[in-house]
Amino acid sequence: MPFDREKIRSGIEKACYKRPVSPEQIDRLVGAVEAAIYEDGEREVPTRRIGELVFSALRDLDKVAFVRFASVYREFQDVHDFVEELQPILDGRRRDPRP
C-alpha cells in the first residue's frame, strides 16, 4: 500500500481535536513521520511501523492526543488496556511534579 500523507494527517488531526496543537505542529509531525519512513529506505513500509512512528511522536506532543490515538491504534478493549498504556505517563508525572 502506498504511503498516504493525508490519511496520516487525518488520524493525527482527529487525535488532536480540541487540543492546543497548532496546524504547524501537525505538519511537522506528519513531515517527521514521512522523513523517518523514507530514511528506512524500504520500498514497502508496514502500517504498523507508520502507526508506531505516529504513536511515539504524539506521546511527546500532547498526552491526550496520544491516548486518543492509542485507543484506536492499539484497539483498547476495556479500561485495563487504557490503564496499562497510561501507567508509564502517570509514573513519569509523579517523578517530575509540576511547580
Q: What's 34's DSSP letter?
A: H
Q: pTM score > 0.75 for this model?
A: no
Domain span at residue 66 reads: 5-95
C-beta of residue 19 within 8 angstroms of C-beta of residue 64: yes
Q: Could you list the pLDDT tens digit for every one of the 99 residues in the chain?
A: 566 889 889 999 999 999 999 999 999 999 999 898 888 777 777 888 888 888 888 988 998 898 888 777 666 666 677 677 667 766 776 544 444
Candidates 40, 45, 15; CA nearest to 29 is 15
Task: Give me the number of domains the chain comprises.
Answer: 1
Q: What's 6's DSSP letter?
A: H
